[in-house]
Amino acid sequence: MSKAALVIGNWKMNGSAALVRTMSEALREQPQLTSAVNVVICPPFTLLAELTRQCFYDNIAVGAQTVNAQDNGAHTGEISVSMLQELGVEYVLIGHSERRACYAETNPVIAAKLNTATAAGLTAVLCVGEDKQQREQQQTWEVIEQQLASACDELTDTQAARLVVAYEPVWAIGTGETATPEQAQHVHSQIRQWLVKRFGSIGEKIEILYGGSVKADNAAQLFAQEDIDGGLIGGASLKKQDFVAIIQAAQG
Ligand code: PEP
């Protein structure tokens, strides 16, 4: 990890206006940290505007947890890229395993979302990863390669420059079971090689984050790995001490 690390908090369907204030105040007290590490928070849609207001001067970027691939029309309950951009949102998670598993987000749906988001100028965090059974059957790379190939099929170089990849083994998300630094580095180096093969020198610069039960006490070892450029943090991003400690670990 040579340039500034990227740490993204995914609040999932948690949080409140009070948590937005608590978290932004905690980060505001650490200006040296938030200028050394790129910090993004992805709250639920309802808190995006409040977070943007609170973090406007604080070097913290705001992300959404998903987006629709269409720009407007008859899509009840959905939110478009331009709606996010109007709120000052700069990042969006695409293809989180919970959306793949519970909300029928197939590889083609994810590809469409990634295309729309990156074409419009958002930074898109593409989540990939294998489940427990796939790992046990030695299909880890096969699964991830399919996810990457499908999602990136139509991306131009300009769009790829707005891509971040998050390796999130499904068996490690919210389970307390983390990939070892060696397991994570192994997959990250495969992802790096794939990105360089697909996008050339742009692929060398695409950030690859690790996600899956990252905590204050295991973050430093994970972030010390050569191809781990930061983390996507779920549960621990809801507690200010834990989130700040993880950002500190990313500072090196
Ligand atoms: C996530 O939801 O992206 C995640 C990594 O969750 P957790 O850190 O809770 O495992």
% pLDDT > 90, the chain: 96
Residues 142-175 pLDDT 10s: 999 999 999 999 999 999 999 999 999 999 999 9
d(CA 241, CA 95): 28
pLDDT at 252 over 80: no
pLDDT at 56 over 90: no
Choosing from 98, 105, 130, 168, the catalytic residue is 168
> Cβ(214) to ligand 1 under 6 A?
yes
Q: How confident is the model at residue 57 (pLDDT cuts 50, 70, 90)?
A: confident
Q: How confident is the model at residue 1 (pLDDT cuts 50, 70, 90)?
A: low
pLDDT at 141 over 90: yes
d(CA 159, CA 208): 16
Q: Which pLDDT score, from 0 to 100, does residue 169 have?
A: 98
Higher local confidence (pLDDT), 3 or 105: 105
215 in helix, strand or coil?
A: coil
The closest residue, in CA terms, to atom 8 on ligand 1 is 234
Catalytic: 168?
yes
DSSP codes of every residue in 84-116:
HHHTT--EEEES-HHHHHHS---HHHHHHHHHH
> Cβ(235) to ligand 1 under 6 A?
yes
Of 215, 223, 217, 158, nearest in space to 188 by CA:
223
Question: Ligand 1 centre from 173 Cα, in Å?
Answer: 5
Q: Which pLDDT score, from 0 to 100, does residue 132 have?
A: 96
Question: Ligand 1 centre from 73 Cα, in Å?
Answer: 32
Residues 71-124 pLDDT 10s: 999 999 999 999 999 999 999 999 999 999 999 999 999 999 999 999 999 999
Residue type, 240: K
> Cβ(211) to ligand 1 under 6 A?
yes
What sign does the CA torsion over 14, 110, 210, 202 have? Answer: negative
Query: Once rounded to an integer, what is the mean pLDDT over residues 12-32?
Result: 96
Choosing from 96, 105, 188, 207, the catalytic residue is 96
Q: What H or E segment, with its residue span, contains residue 184?
A: helix 181-199
Catalytic: 182?
no
Which atom from ligand 1 is nearest to the alpha carbon of 98?
2
Q: Which pLDDT score, from 0 to 100, does residue 2 have?
A: 59
Residue type, 32: Q
- 52 in Cβ contact with 87 (< 8 Å): yes
Q: How confident is the model at residue 130 (pLDDT cuts 50, 70, 90)?
A: very high
% pLDDT > 70, the chain: 99
* Residue 160 backbone phi and psi in degrees, to 5: -65, -30
Which residues are CB-contacts of 97 (< 8 A; sequence separation ≥ 6)? 127, 129, 131, 168, 170, 173
Query: Mean pLDDT, the chain, as a whole number?
Result: 96
